[in-house]
Every structure is written in C-alpha cells, then in structure tokens.
Structure 1
C-alpha cells in the first residue's frame, strides 16, 4: 500500500489524531446535508417509537466520515457502539461470537463490510432480519442446527465498494446513505473547526488554499493541516499562506491536490501508453501499486476532476489529464473511446 500523505488509509496515530477532531453529534457534523437530514429523521422516529433504528449502510469513498457517523449514531441513540470489520470476520464462527456478545439496543459497526467472508454474510442475513442465528453442531449425517436468539441490535456498516455487496445483504438495510465528496466551502468549515481545536491560527486565505488541495475529503484536509502545523512550528515567521504552500510542496501535493501516486498514474497513461486505453491490472503493475488502491483511492478523484475516464477498453487520460501530465500534442478523446 502507498504511504503517500494524502492517501486515505488511516494508521494508529492518525486514528487518534482524527478521533480528537471527530464531531460528537449530527449538529456538529459538517457537510453531507442530505445524509444528515435523513439520519436525523430516522433516529428521531426510532426514539419516538422506543425501538432500535433500522440497519444502516454508509457507502462512499474513504475519508468522508462513515466511521464518524457510526459513532454519532451511537451517541444520538444513547447506545453502546461495538466495533468490528469485514477483514476480521472470515468465518461464520467469528460473526457468531460478535453477535452473541451484543446486549439489547447495541449498535454494531462493521467497517469494510464488503470484505466479510461469504459464509458470515449468509449468517448475517438471518441475524439482521429475525435477530437469530443457527449454529451447526456436529458433522455429516449427525449434524444438527441449534437456533440462538440474539438481542435486538442496529447494524451500521460502512463500505467503499457497495457494488461488491450481494443483493440479499443490501436489501436487508433499512437505509443506505451515499456520502459524496465535499465542496470547498464545507471543507473550509471543517478546517476552521480543526484549526481552532489544534490551536493553529490560520488566515482565511490559508484555509482556502488547504481546502482547495484536499480532494474533497475531510480526512485528507485534517492530515494536510497537521503537516502545515508542523511546518509552521519548524519554520516560525514564514507566513501562514506561504507556509501552507511550502508545506504542501514539500509533501508532494500539487496545485490540483494530486500527490505522487496520482501523478504517476496520469504520467504512465499519458506517456507510456500514449493516453490509453490501458487495463487496470496493467496500470497497477506499471506504477507498482495494488489495483484495489488505484481503483478505490486514486481513480474516483481523477475521474471527478475530469483528468481520467473509464471506458470499456480501459482507462484513458482526458485532454485535461494529458495537459496535466505535460503532453502538448495528443489525440482527441473521441478517437480513443
């Protein structure tokens, strides 16, 4: 996996850092107004009826606040939040252990649910619908199924790849929230709040510069703010706006918010493959990165910014992407579609 500054994979100390900045309620949560409104109605209706909220699926690119919203759901309902993840549940027995430990009303948060083992997914169908699981005892002809009743709970699941979830699982969620990339104005609000909490006094023009280069992602915005804070501590008196630009230059974040891997992908398509099309696996091998990282982390932003396009024949650099990669003469986009 890449270790580039702005890639949204969280490490241990970064999780602690992000946790310190994490809002504790829907009222404090910045951005995603449609999702916030939908969740507010869902949670208030459940409270008025004195029941657990429906199961909730949070879908969207990394770093947009899925984990934060899961924690807020627990806070807003006054329930304990139990944490797990898809990669940690590789057998039905793993899921059975998690579910049997729940108490009535608990919120179970499963991150990266699309990476859960298929056998566990099939067990989860019954658990979500009837709050019951069947435990198989014995083998062969003597095997028997023992039903185990579960305490009523609310499953909050997060995924960056909702298309990988089987339909029977998706259909059992009462509400699916689709999180979108943030616009610069919302990112500026996120950065003003974070800068205040961190004690980093930045003028408005410095906040605007940071927001513009944060790829529409709050997690990235907070990480860049952290690096800017370090720069200003090491280089006092360098001027806040110039300090922001120098820090981002040092950490390889360009004017468009692209980092080393983003530029490597664009440069490879533009120069080595003459603008494309090129297949994902070939592209991943060419830049020395996992195909999943390129597809889930790099491509969404490049496509959103109009620098990259996906076609039936493979990935191609758009005219804007070719220009960003320094290609002056190139075929038109239509010729490569």
Structure 2
C-alpha cells in the first residue's frame, strides 16, 4: 500500500455545535475518535475494489492510466461532495495506483504560507499531496498554492519590511488532490487549476448493500442479505454511516444473539440506537416534531428550531437539514423552514390540506 504521511501544522479550532457529535455518533458521517482504525481497514485499496461512483472511477482511471503511459505526473484532482462518500479513500487509492507516497493535511491547518511551503519543500517527485476541506485554506497559503500547482515553484520570503527578499524554490512535479464538502466556497482561480474535477454522489441502496456485505466479510461477521439491505436502507446514502451501523448491529448480535446478523437482529439493533426506517435519528425527529407539532408545519426560523431542540443553529442547519431536505421532509423558504406532507406522514399524522406535496402523497396512495 502507498506510504501515507499525514502532516498537520496546526489543529483547527473545534467548531460551534460540535457537542452534538456525542449524540450523533451512529449516523454522523464525520469520523469519531476510536472508529478511525476500523474504518481504515474497511477502505478499498484500488479502483477495482471501490464500490459505487462508477462514473468517477471510470474517469479517474482514464486520467491515471493516461499519465502512467506517458510517464508524467497526473493532473491535479478535485473531489467534491458531502462527507462520508469516499473522498479521502479515493486520494489514498490515487497514491496506491501511482505507486507513490501520500502526504495528508487539511485546509484549516494551512493558516500561513509558511505552513504550505514547509510541506512542499519536502515533497518528492510524483508524490500525492492530499488537502482535505481545501475550501478552508487561508488566503496567503492559497495564493502560494497557485504557483506550486501551475509552475511547480514557490517563492519563499526571507526577512521583513524593505529588506525582505524573495527566494524562488523549485519543487518536483506532484499531484494535488483536494477534497471539499462545499465546492461553491472555492475561489475561481483555485478551482480552475484542477485538471480533473469529480462530484461524488450519494449511494443507492443496492450499492450500499454491497458495501455492507464487503465490510462484514472483512470484519468476519456472518450477515444475511435481508439484514444488509435493511442497514443500507437506513444509512442516508453514505458508506461511512453504513459501516458504522454495521458495527453497532454486530455489537447487538454479539450481546443478544450468537453473533450472526439476521433481519431481526438488524432491526432490533437499529431500534436500540434510535435509527428509524428512513435513517432519521433522535435529533432529526425532534426537529420534525417541533416543526410539525409545535408550529403547525411552519414556516419557522432555524434559530427557533435550534432553541426548541437544545442545539446550536449551525448543528441544525449543517447536520440535520441537508438530509431532511434531501428526504423531502423539509423545504427551505424565504420565511423559514416548512414541513412537507411527507414529514407529517412520517410522524404518523394526517397532513393538512395546505401542506407541501399533500396532493402527491394522496396520489401515491
């Protein structure tokens, strides 16, 4: 496997709302402490092993194979998409496919140009530099990155004031792999310097079932196909969540059974961990309940929702809302958040005549 070297010069500050992570370990796509080693073992090691994202894999395979045949360093790669879909895994695979070392850091860690210069000065020819959350890189470091990506050269400033001197430093050709969950926050000059851009999509139930089956084989767990499908259907379209739910179901099967995971064990475990049939957890349902039962379906501002459920507004907006909107249960309007007919039905309530999508739900029935 490719040599992975992880370098971070400054740890980013803990964002507001992070206290919710302790409540959302089961379904939060962000990796938690103690889970990373297990997740590393479950990561595929090559494009052939990677499940899902067929278009991205085919396109990336062409980029890497073409560069190998010409004997040159591949173009820089930008991977965008929600957390948990495999961006970091794809960066590891790129280094593995090229047979080079992988150097890892994150955008928040590169606060100064000197932080980036220190990394680039130690890079070897053909290495892969992976910057996670690249949209959060500091502006001075980003401007230095422009020259490094295009000309494989950086200017190091020595001294201060009128006596400062710029010393040009050539760096060997390398491949930058940037990952972002917010592609819209990338500046135009940075985005345009990537030769290949890939958008990672949410997974379907069929692909997630394959992910669960593969993880079960690696973990040495016997699982029925119906149980794999059940876990996959509650994983929010995210492989990281599917792998995490599998480990929780394994715990349940070990404690309450013989270790074999069947449909009953999967459903029992997911009920214990408050993950319902659509993948909603306690906090998701609390937001829906406040919106529907407390405010008649809205519209309601995000600050009001956050106070009602005892969370930070950023937690509701960044953790809960994306999936609830994608599941068709909440609509964002200029006046606030509005519950759809699907949200009313999911809570076991009859939607009012004026609810969004009420005619669609009646036609489905």
For the superposition of Structure 1 and Structure 2, which TM-score range results when normalised by the shorter chain? over 0.9
Q: 1:296 to 1:177 in 2, by over 3 A?
A: farther
Matched, 1:155 2:155: no
How does 1:40-55 map onto structure 2 within 5 Å? Answer: 40-55=61-76
1:66 to 87, 90, 101: 87
The match for 2:328 is 306
Is the 1:57–1:176 contact (alpha carbons within 8 Å) kept by the matching residues of 2?
Answer: yes
Structure 1 partner of 2:127: 106
Distance 1:288 1:152, change over 3 A: farther
Which residue in the other structure is 2:148 paired with?
Answer: 127
Over the residues paired in the alignment, what is the CA RMSD in angstroms?
A: 1.9
In 2, Cα distance between equivalents of 1:103 and 1:290: 44
**Unaligned stretches of 5+ residues in structure 1:** none
Contact 2:250 2:261 in 1 (8 A): no
Alpha-carbon deviation of 1:264? 2.3
State whether structure 2 residue 252 is matched by structure 1 residue 231: yes
Partner residue, 1:56: 77
Q: Which structure 2 residues correspond to residues 216-295 of structure 1 after superposition, within 5 A? A: 216-237=237-258, 240-295=262-317
The CA distance in 1 between the partners of 2:217 and 2:272, in whole Å, is 24
Deviations 1:232-290 (A, max 9, x none): 11112597211111110111101111112222222232234432333444444443434
2:78 pairs with 1:89: no
The 1:206–1:128 alpha-carbon spacing in structure 2 relative to 1, beyond 3 Å, is same
> Cα–Cα, structure 1 residues 235 and 151, in superposed 2: closer, same or farther, change >3 Å?
same
Distance in 1, matches of 2:314 and 2:140, equals 23
How far the C-alpha of 1:120 sits from its partner, in A, is 1.2
Q: CA separation in 1, counterparts of 2:317 and 2:153?
A: 36
Give the TM-score normalised by structure 1: 0.94
Say which SS state the counterpart of residue 35 (structure 2) adopts: helix
Give the secondary-structure state (helix, strand or coil) at the position aligned to 2:29: coil
| Preserved CA contact (<8 Å) 2:340 2:356 | yes
Q: How many residues align?
A: 335
CA contact (8 A) 2:339 2:355 kept: no
Per the alignment, do residues 199 and 309 of structure 1 end up closer, same or farther by CA in structure 2, a change over 3 Å counting?
Answer: same
2-structure distance, mates of 1:242, 1:66 = 33
How far apart are 1:293 and its partner, in Å? 4.0
Indicate the residue corresponding to 1:80 in structure 2. 101
Q: 1:121 to 1:284 in 2, by over 3 A?
A: farther
Partner Cα distance (1:334, 1:248) in 2: 29
* Distance of 2:146 and 2:308 partners within structure 1: 40
Question: Could you tell me how far 1:297 is from its partner in structure 2?
Answer: 3.4
CA 1:318–1:93: 2 relative to 1, 3 Å: same
